[in-house]
């Protein structure tokens, strides 16, 4: 097996990430140009922060996700291009922190780089990274927050939660991870601290929704409501089911194998407990979207870091079998 230096692998990863994201950059495909539906609203938010007249409404579901549009407003490109350049950076950061997380957990070199390749060569990375949405910023905050928690840098963790809140409310998954971790350690004060964190998160989200700008005529609060019509639409909508399956992808496939074959499920470390609760939070958010709006695989993408943490503890997957045999021989 040919060994490559870290700089070489890093350069290959950066180039591969650009190649994977390029076909869908700004909503372009090889055959047709199609800007995803919600991208125009985030573009309008960029225009608002630039002091321009927004060409589209600023909506309630957009106005609370202002971090990326605000940062994009300082770039000298079109609104959509500025958003997606930042999205590309956020995807790279999320992969970097996934790499650092499994490194912190003690993985070997090939395991760490396998995670990089699985992250880049994934359906969400290709399909959702650079289409003008803001999910990559929330995913980057989740990755950075998990890494901060594992390093007991709780101030950085709190900052990641705050930045994630301003990116997209799905960043609440950081608190799910922290809750699972603290429950496993059985430290009552830590558990109570995380529960208080949930309350603060929800209060601040309410405040942002209340005071963030809206286009005139838009209603400030349009709470998502459970609807069997929404569920039926998602059930019969091919894209909803297909994007879910494709987003689970290779990490999800190995996770299923791990769950079926794992023989040490009772010996769960605090890190793994946090990852399991974080992943359960991902599934809960997907079910919520399934019964309230148009569901797709983006929320599953938020759970990749948790999948990698769970998979790391399974030393007998075929993906890592050769490395484990070498370790045993040594």
What pLDDT, on the 0 to 100 scale, is given for residue 187?
83
Please report, for the chain, the start and end positions of each structural domain, with discontinuous segments joined by +: 32-213+226-319
Residue 249's alpha-carbon distances to 98, 269, 303, in angstroms, are 17, 25, 12
Mean pLDDT of the region 195-203: 95
**CA 243 and chain centroid, separation:** 15
If we measure between CA atoms, which residue out of 124, 123, 132 comes closest to residue 65? 132
| Contact indicator for 129, 21 with CB cutoff of 8 Å | yes
| Contact indicator for 285, 192 with CB cutoff of 8 Å | no
What is the pTM assigned to this prediction? 0.90
Q: What's the pLDDT band for 263 if we cut at 50, 70, 90?
A: low
What pLDDT, on the 0 to 100 scale, is given for residue 42?
95
Residue 39 CA to residue 246 CA, distance in Å, equals 22
Mean pLDDT of the chain: 88
Mean pLDDT of the region 238-265: 85
Q: Using the predicted structure, report yes or no on whether residue 113 has a pLDDT greater than 50.
A: yes
Residue 105 CA to residue 217 CA, distance in Å, equals 51
What pLDDT, on the 0 to 100 scale, is given for residue 207?
93
Q: Using the predicted structure, report yes or no on whether residue 328 has a pLDDT greater than 80.
A: no
Map tokens 């790499």 to a residue. Answer: 99
Measure CA of the first residue to CA of the last residue in the chain; give whole Å.
17
- What confidence tens digit (pLDDT) does each residue in 26-63 have? 988 766 666 788 899 999 999 999 999 998 988 888 88
Q: Using the predicted structure, report yes or no on whether residue 314 has a pLDDT greater than 60.
A: no
What pLDDT, on the 0 to 100 scale, is given for residue 186?
80
Residue 109 CA to residue 307 CA, distance in Å, equals 18
Q: Using the predicted structure, report yes or no on whether residue 202 has a pLDDT greater than 90.
A: yes
């Amino acid at each position: 097996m040919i060994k490559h230096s870290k700089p070489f692998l890093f350069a290959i990863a950066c180039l591969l990430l650009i190649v994977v994201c390029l076909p869908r950059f700004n909503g372009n495909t090889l055959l047709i140009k199609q800007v995803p539906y919600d991208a125009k609203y985030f573009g309008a938010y960029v225009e608002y922060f630039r002091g321009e007249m927004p060409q589209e409404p600023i909506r309630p579901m957009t106005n609370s996700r202002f971090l990326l549009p605000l940062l994009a407003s300082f770039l000298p490109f079109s609104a959509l291009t500025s958003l997606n350049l930042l999205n590309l950076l956020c995807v790279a950061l999320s992969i970097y922190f996934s790499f650092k997380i499994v490194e912190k957990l003690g993985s070997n070199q090939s395991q760490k780089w396998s995670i990089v390749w699985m992250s880049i060569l994934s359906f969400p990375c290709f399909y959702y990274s650079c289409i003008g949405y803001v999910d990559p910023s929330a995913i980057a905050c989740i990755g950075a927050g998990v890494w901060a928690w594992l390093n007991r840098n709780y101030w950085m963790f709190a900052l990641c939660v705050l930045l994630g809140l301003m990116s997209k409310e799905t960043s609440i998954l950081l608190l799910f991870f922290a809750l699972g971790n603290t429950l496993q350690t059985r430290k009552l004060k830590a558990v109570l601290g995380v529960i208080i964190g949930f309350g603060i998160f929800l209060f601040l989200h309410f405040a942002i929704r209340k005071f963030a700008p809206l286009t005139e005529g838009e209603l400030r609060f349009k709470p998502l409501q459970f609807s069997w019509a929404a569920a039926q639409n998602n059930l019969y909508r091919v894209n909803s089911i297909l994007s879910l399956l494709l987003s689970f992808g290779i990490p999800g496939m190995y996770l299923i194998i791990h769950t079926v074959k794992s023989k040490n499920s009772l010996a769960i470390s605090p890190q793994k407990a946090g990852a399991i609760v974080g992943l359960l939070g991902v599934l809960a958010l997907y079910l919520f979207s399934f019964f309230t709006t148009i569901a797709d695989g983006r929320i599953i993408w938020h759970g990749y870091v948790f999948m990698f943490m769970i998979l790391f503890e399974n030393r007998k997957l075929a993906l890592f079998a050769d490395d484990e045999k070498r370790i045993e021989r040594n």
